[in-house]
Amino acid sequence: MSTTTLTRSDFEPTIVGNDIVLVDFWAAWCGPCRQFAPVYEAAAEKHPEIVFGKVDTEAERELASAANITSIPTLMAFREGVLVFSQPGALPAAALEQVIDAVQGLDMAEVHRQVAAQQALQSAPLEATQEQFVEAHAQGRTVIDVREPMEYRAGHVPGALLVPMRQVAEKAGELPQGEPVYVICASGNRSKSSTDQLRRMGFEAYSVAGGTSAWANAGREIVTGPFPTAQG
């Protein structure tokens, strides 16, 4: 089976209407694209059960922009309408076969479960009210304080771990996966930014509305002193 030229009008129907679709984003002026073309064509002939699409990024600039293409060639793979692979660069034949094998071997029930979980997380409220946070805190949920060390030492929620905002991405690997993480700052501004960052990384994170100030103003306990971090 030969490759199929895709345009803005038939791109989505092709992705949705077929089990596995590979898409090569290319341009005629691109040397690596010309290098990859015969490899891609050969794979299309070898795997007639797969749709091998091609998008000319010069002719379909709007489509390429919507797909966030910043380098060509870029190869994308879709299975059951879900993007499961995306990588720029001209793959050699063996590497392309590895991608195809991996896509064919995916547990799509698990992939769809992960997609649904991520969509549910993204649609969940970004903030937790003080009342919700009080309950979560009583349950021993993880709390990170994204203020600076001097602010933290001056007074923080008991048990909160110090993870300054600038270090959230660096320290994210030390946070528990699969359970809520509550993010607190002074009033709720820095915690919103950090929560958004953690959610993009797959964490179920919530920004604490009102921050440490609201907690303290309600007469709840404040701890002063050293710097517990995400590592303990």
Q: pLDDT tens, 97-132?
A: 999 999 999 999 988 887 776 776 666 668 899 999
In a domain, 225, yes or no: no
Q: Which of 6, 22, 23, 30 is catalytic?
A: 30
* Segments forming the whole domain that contains residue 192: 123-217
Q: Residue 83 in contact with residue 111, Cβ under 8 Å?
A: no
In a domain, 117, yes or no: no
Q: Say how many domains are in the chain.
A: 2
Residues with Cβ within 8 Å of residue 34, at least 6 apart in sequence: 28
Q: Which of 33, 67, 136, 162 is catalytic?
A: 33
In a domain, 115, yes or no: no
In a domain, 175, yes or no: yes
pLDDT of residue 126: 85
Q: Quick check: is 33 catalytic? A: yes
Residues 8 and 99 occupy one common structural domain: yes
Please state, as a whole number, how many other Cβ atoms lie within 10 Å of the Cβ of residue 60: 21
* Separation CA 185–CA 207 (nearest Å): 9
Residues 29 and 106 occupy one common structural domain: yes
Query: Could you tell me the pTM of the whole model?
Result: 0.59
Q: What are phi and psi of 52, to 5 degrees?
A: -105, 100
In a domain, 231, yes or no: no
Q: pLDDT tens, 132-168?
A: 999 999 999 999 999 999 999 999 999 999 999 999 9
Q: Which of 80, 110, 140 is the last residue of a domain?
A: 110
